[in-house]
A and B are shown apart, each in its own frame.
Chain A
């Protein structure tokens, strides 16, 4: 790479975060993911359970963006767009299911469908 290309590469961008390590962002992501897991396992309302899966998607997004920044390319960011797509599709389907289940039993309790486990 010539000097000019390097100058182009480094010119006029926000300063790097002093001292913020990849690890900090990964820890935030891991904590958010674990909170999502805890919520998904322990809450009984179907809607909140699906909100917790969104929380886990969100945690994955933070990790992807942090890795994308760490490796200095945009692949991670493009991947977050696909995560958003899947999240939107999941929300649409899951919520249609929730409405369907609610119309049948008039309750959002996940354990009221316990007979499905056979």
Chain B
């Protein structure tokens, strides 16, 4: 099983260079090996029609019908992929569940006339895509995404929606501003978007590859040697070392862990060092891997990210503190509203 998987992974690695080649050979004869073009492009067209219908528009706005048509179209696109993947394998059902929720919710983000609901549907998109992250075994990023996006950024959006809305009136649709009820050029926008999709999926079609098992051959595993605390804890849990024994460090402070031999030197304080065998199931967890990648490989980027955030915060404070005059038209509107209200009271 394991070897079969590896062989397939190697096969896909060989195929990777063709991703670039497909730019030249869009009509290559083996394109249909990987997906069903009729279903894929038909799904594209159907999805475009559905989204164009689902966007809010003047006159009759068949939003539900549009959503159904879009769902059928997107489903056809995935079917187009599923029908002929190289070895007939299909993704597990969880992938489809998360993908459908993410795409359906993002469709609702752009089609819902009320900004508050759009923001809430965006949170649903975030939750579903963190599910996709989990399927990709990126646990740390999945939870960071929920905390940062759903927890922080979207709450900022909700606050701004609260701050910047006109006073609502009784009935449902009437309370919506004109710019929320009608979208601008829904058909042209959708056609452009789906030409983008068709082009992208054509170019991607040659890069089909099953995901190899995590960590296999990953150079990151060697970094366990830089985590003496973790290794010590594991050794202590399995009672390989006891009491005050620690992993020996050399003059530069590098711990004496030899992964290629599978041994580590341990010693009690003042005692004679001796080698112990490491357990065979040492792994670098996702969080540790991301941490190494961030802090060892990209330390400069973190500093820059900090500066970006600081500047954004300063900018936001400066912008929001500025005193603004209403422009003439808005002032006239406000005045008229006040006058109307006063007349209503006097009547």
Interfacial residues, chain A to chain B (CB-CB below 8 A) = 1-2, 4-28, 30-39, 41-45, 47-48, 50-52, 54-55, 58, 61-62, 65-66, 68-70, 72-75, 77-78, 80-82, 84-93, 95-100, 102-112
Contacts and interface: CB of A to CB of B under 8 A. Distances in A.
B125 A55 contact: yes
Interface residues of B, number: 129
Given A16-B212, A31-B74, A95 B290 contact: no
Given A4-B261, A69-B211, 4 more contacts: A38-B55, A38-B189, A72-B214, A96-B320
B179 A45 contact: yes
A104 B330 contact: yes
B340 interface: no
Given A28-B103, A72-B215, A89-B308, A47 B160 contact: yes
A17 B132 CA distance: 11
Nearest to A41: B189
28 contacts: A4-B261, A5-B262, A6-B217, A8-B280, A12-B281, A13-B214, A20-B210, A24-B99, A32-B106, A38-B110, A38-B189, A38-B190, A41-B188, A44-B183, A45-B180, A47-B160, A47-B164, A52-B110, A58-B129, A61-B141, A62-B133, A72-B218, A73-B289, A78-B298, A78-B301, A84-B144, A93-B316, A102-B163
A68 B90 contact: no
A53 to B, nearest CB: 11
B178 A109 contact: yes
A38 B160 contact: no
A21 B16 CA distance: 13
Nearest to A39: B110
Contacts of B319: 93, 96-97, 99-100
Interface of B: 2, 5, 12, 34, 47, 51, 55, 74, 77-78, 81, 85, 87, 89-92, 95, 99, 102-103, 106-107, 109-110, 115, 118-119, 122, 125-126, 129, 132-133, 135-138, 140-141, 144-145, 148-149, 152-153, 156-157, 160-161, 163-166, 177-180, 182-186, 188-190, 192-194, 196-197, 200-201, 204-205, 207-222, 224, 259-262, 280-283, 286, 289-290, 292-294, 297-298, 301, 305, 308-309, 311-313, 315-317, 319-320, 322, 324-327, 329-330, 333-334
Nearest to B98: A28
Q: Is the interface of B mostly helix, strand, loop or mixed?
A: helix
A25 B122 CA distance: 19
Contacts of B95: 17, 20, 24
B301 A10 contact: no
A108 B92 CA distance: 43
A105 B103 contact: no
B85 A34 contact: no
A92 B310 CA distance: 11
Given A11-B280, A19-B210, A38-B193, A78 B290 contact: yes
Contacts of B109: 35, 39, 48, 51-52, 55
A10 B211 contact: no
B92 A25 contact: no
Contacts of A45: 115, 177, 179-180
A12 B320 CA distance: 51
Contacts of B283: 8-9, 11-13
Given A19-B92, A89-B312, A8 B224 contact: yes
Contacts of A33: 196
A84 B143 CA distance: 12
Contacts of A42: 55, 110, 183-186, 189-190
A68 B106 CA distance: 24
